[in-house]
Each structure stands twice: as structure tokens, then as C-alpha cells.
Amino acid sequence: MKIINPNPETHPLTWRISKNKTIFIKKYIKKNGYQILKTILKKNNPQEIIDIVKKSKLKGRGGGGFYTGLKWDLMPKKNNTLETRYFLCNADEMEPGTYKDRFLIEHIPHQLLEGMIISAFAIQANKGYIFLRGEYIKCAKILNIVIKEAYKFGVLGKNILNTNFSFDIYLHIGAGRYICGEETALINSLEGKRANPRFKPPYPSTIGLWGKPTCVNNVETIFNIPGIINYGSDWYHNLSNSKNDSGTKMLGFSGNVKKPGLWELPFGTPARIVLEKYAGGMKKGLKLKTWQPGGAGTGFLMENHLDLPMDFITIYKAGSRLGTGISIAIDNKINIVSLLKNLENFFARESCGLCTPCREGLPWIVKILNNLEKKIGSTKDLIILKDMSNLLKDEGPFCAHAPGAMAPLNSALKYFLHEFEYGITY
């Protein structure tokens, strides 16, 4: 990734990156690290921090797009100083085609810690966990180092920077399940239970980790917090080119493009600019067939959709989801049925098995796609596939796993029905 105009007022997530190296605490402090934390601990109360983030209209960057400040404000008021409450960082980045959180952690890990500490102060949490994807071995090594550095520097532990606020952070390595991206499944896993989503209500804000009030935010979301507190909500609004969303976003393209990667760009940047200007367009001899705007669990869009601004509402109205914002380019030599079989096989394997529609339905869909790929499918197979895709999208499943798995399937049936029909022989 080449940093464009590294300036804290235009690129609050990535401005500290100068080379492809991890920034540890000495360099982080030289680049104004922990100064924002020091200021707010001395001058602000928790509700003031919540109000600034609410006014900024920061949305969660994990894919859901829920307002962060509102999520914080749903936490009940703290009854006494001894009450335990948790702030959790969701770093279980399991979405195929997505690698933004890994990039941020590997390069600027202390910005994650500073964002977590400020967030914890706002909701008055005294314990925090980073729930890290098990395959992110390099990230784990880095986080173990920087957490120790933060304790030594006095920004973690008891009476942070000689104030009355105390906060501890623990690193937890996940067991490698996609479903842990859902916050209540993450909480169950953190407690040592099977990673199944919980019934809601009660919500984690009231009964979360070990029955205590809990807030869960994504890595990229947390990275935004220091900049918002430092420069204010109006500044954050003005960073965006979108009428719908504030700030900047890590956007990128993978697939058969010339320069796959990710870049911090204003919200509302058209996907065509990301693909052609930054990712260099498709590789020689290939054309764009379709694309997924935010990982494997988002619906396919066509080339004419590239000119739409990349924000939550616009992409949703186009028939997909922004998701993580890291797009996948599918070229004209890829068979859609084969691609879908691969995707649905992943989602079937990663089902937690809690509900019957997801547990039984996804493997059934894989079998049908396998028949169509081998050109031994029937007309009945295609009818069942359409019925099941609608059932799993709208009815029956307990959580968003199956509906997410159906997003690419339903959009493929809409745009590429003829490729499914090629697999029917009787």
C-alpha cells in the first residue's frame, strides 16, 4: 500500500505509516501518540466523548454499519466504581477477500490500543479483550509486544497517566470460526463456550461477557476514535464525499487486478476509481465480469455499478452491501457456478449448526451447485435452488450467517441465470 498524502487531517487511519514496518511505541509517541488520550483523561468526562462520537455519525466498519456512538450510549449508566464492564475489539477478520484490519494492526498497533482505551473510558469499561483471528500469527506477536509497551508507558493498568481511570487489555486468539464475527458468538467463544449466536434481547450492552455490560467494536472502527476526538465531528463529516456516511474508509480490490491492495479514501469514492486508478484495472487480457463490494458475503454487482459512490446506503439500494469495503473483482474467464460452489462450501463449513435451515440448507445448496457445475443438474434442481435461496435469505435462520451466504447466490441467479441453465441436462 502506498500512502497518499499522509496527513492526520485527511488520512486519520494511515497517516503515521511511512514505510512497510510496524510502528512501535517510541515512534508512535513521536507522531503524537497517546496525546489525545492524555488530553481527554484530564479535560473530558465519559458522556462528552460519547456525544462527540454520536455527532460524528461514525458507523461500524465491520460490515454492519451501526452507529458507534449510539451503541456506546446504549450501555447502562455505571452504578459504582467496582462494577466490571467490558470493551471488546473484534479482530476476528474471517471474511474471505478482506484484510484491512490485519493491515492496520501490523502497521499501527498502538493506534488500536489508544482507540480502545478512549472507547473504554467513554463507556467506563475497566477490562478489554482483543479477539484476534487465529491465523493472524504476525498480528499476535505484534500485539503482545505493544500491550507490554503500553503498560510500561503507563497508558494501561491502574490509574492510567496518574488519573482515576484504570483499564486492562488482554489478547485472546480465536479458534478459527467465521461465526465469531457475530458479536454474541464472539462473546460465547471468549467464555469458552461453543461459538453460537445468542438470543437478543438481552443485548450485550446489558448482559454480555460473563453477564456484565459489554460493548464490541471492529478494529477499523476503533482506529477512527482518536482522530474524531482530536479534530471534532464537523471535521469528520467533511472528510467524506458521501451524503450518507462520514469520514474515510479503507477501500480496496483483490482478484485478477494489476495492483491488488487497499487504500484509505473518502467515503463515497466510486468503486471505478478504486479499481482503475489505485488497483490499476484488470490484468492484461481480462475483463471485469462482476464484483463483490465488501467480501464474499455480499451480492454481486455489475460494471455499471462501479460508478456508484461506495457508502452503505447507495450500495444497499443497488442490491448488495458495502460490507467491509474490500472488493473482489471477478474476471470474464471465471465460471459463476464454480465460484459460487466454492463460496457456498465455505459458508456451509462455517455454519455453527445451531439452526436447521442453515445447518441443512447450505450443504444441500452446495450439492445442487456441484451437479450444475458437472452439467448433471435438472430443472427441478434449479427450482429448489431458487426456493432455498429465498427461504434462507428471508425466513428461518437464527442469525445473519445464512442470509449473508445467500447474497452472492441470489444476485448470481439474477445476473447470470444462463450459466446455471447450462448445467441442466434433463
CATH fold, domain 25-237, is Rossmann fold (3.40.50)
Read off the amino acid at residue 105.
I
- Distance (Å, whole) CA 349 – CA 371: 19
Contact residues for 234 (Cβ-Cβ < 8 A; gap 6+): none
Distances (CA, A) of 401 to 9, 338, 359: 37, 21, 10
Provide CB contacts within 8 A for 229, sequence distance 6+: 36, 40, 49, 52, 53, 118
Residues spanned by CATH 3.10.20.600 within the chain? 240-331
74 φ/ψ angles, rounded to the nearest 5 degrees: -75, -15
Edge-to-edge order in the sheet of strand 168-173 = 168-173, 127-132, 86-91, 214-218
> Which regions of the chain carry the CATH code 1.20.1440.230?
336-421
Residue with cell 456512538: 69
Residues in the chain, pLDDT under 50: 3
Check residue 252 and report its DSSP letter: E
Q: What pLDDT score was predicted for residue 248? A: 97
- The reported pLDDT for the residue numbered 5 is 53
Cell 463460496 -> residue: 343
Residue 394: predicted pLDDT? 74
pLDDT score, position 176:
81
Question: From 3.90.1150.10, 1.10.3720.10, 1.20.1440.230, 3.40.50.10860, which CATH number describes the 336-421 domain?
Answer: 1.20.1440.230
Rounded-to-integer distance, Cα 28 and Cα 9, Å: 17
Give residue for cell 441467479.
413
CATH architecture of 240-331: Roll (3.10)
Classified as helix, coil or strand, 288 is strand
Least Cα distance to 401 among 184, 159, 134, 118 occurs for 184
Tell me the chain's radius of gyration from C-alpha atoms.
22
Q: What residue spans in the chain does CATH classification 3.40.50.11540 cover?
A: 25-237
Contacts of 13 (CB under 8 A, 6+ apart): 104, 111, 220, 223, 224, 227, 248, 250, 264
**Beta bridge pairs of residue 228:** none
Alpha-carbon torsion angle 36, 41, 43, 44, nearest 10: 100
CA distance 237 to 9: 12
Please name the residues in contact with 153: beta carbons below 8 A apart, sequence gap of 6 or more. Answer: 25, 29, 34
DSSP characters over 133-182: -TT-HHHHHHHHHHHHHHHHHTSSBSSGGGSS--BEEEEEE--S-GGGGS
Contact 133, 94 (CB under 8 A): yes
Separation CA 10–CA 304 (nearest Å):
29
